[in-house]
């Protein structure tokens, strides 16, 4: 158990819908990262938040957004869902920066029908 929690574990929804994925970092960690794992793209970095502020963006679509709340939990919002958004979404946390070891949550498996 990495100490990073993600909910829900599985999510099945239809095209055009909007979903919210939730992540709680390890106790004491200030950074939260979101990654997407798909069969064709592999594991890709989406976005990084540090202590409530956005620090870096990767290959995140405009239909996707995220935020980190004062209690340091984070949410990833995916809207206008397409079939191609079906993937495993991971949240990771680290103490401060990317120099520190990142620990991954169990992931949320999203299926868009």
Partner 1 sequence: GIQVEQSPPDLILQEGANSTLRCNFSDSVNNLQWFHQNPWGQLINLFYIPSGTKQNGRLSATTVATERYSLLYISSSQTTDSGVYFCAAGANQAGTALIFGKGTTLSVSS
**Interacting residues toward partner 1 by CB under 8 A:** 2, 31, 33, 35, 42-45, 48, 55-56, 58, 88, 90, 92, 97-104, 106-107, 109
User: Which backbone phi and psi does 84 adopt, to 5 degrees?
Assistant: -70, -10
The whole-angstrom separation of Cα 65 and Cα 97 is: 21
Nearer to partner 1, 17 or 100 (CB): 100
**Euclidean distance between CA atoms 95 and 52, whole angstroms:** 13
Nearer to partner 1, 1 or 71 (CB): 1
Cis peptide leading into residue 77 (ω within 30°) = no
Closest separation in Å from C-beta 48 to partner 1: 5
Shortest Å, Cβ 72 to partner 1: 16
Q: Which of residues 35 and 64 has its CB atom nearest to partner 1 in the complex? A: 35
Distance CA 113, CA 111 (A): 6
């Amino acid at each position: 158990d990495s100490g990073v929690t993600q909910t829900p574990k599985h999510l099945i929804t239809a095209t055009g819908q909007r979903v919210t994925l939730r992540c709680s970092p390890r106790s004491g960690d200030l950074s939260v990262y979101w990654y997407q794992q798909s069969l064709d793209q592999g594991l890709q970095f989406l976005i990084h938040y540090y202590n409530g502020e956005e620090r870096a963006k990767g290959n995140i679509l405009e239909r996707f957004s995220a935020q980190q709340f004062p209690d340091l939990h984070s949410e990833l919002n995916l809207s206008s869902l397409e079939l191609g958004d079906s993937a495993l979404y991971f949240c990771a946390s680290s103490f401060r920066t990317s120099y520190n070891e990142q620990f991954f949550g169990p992931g949320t498996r999203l299926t868009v029908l």
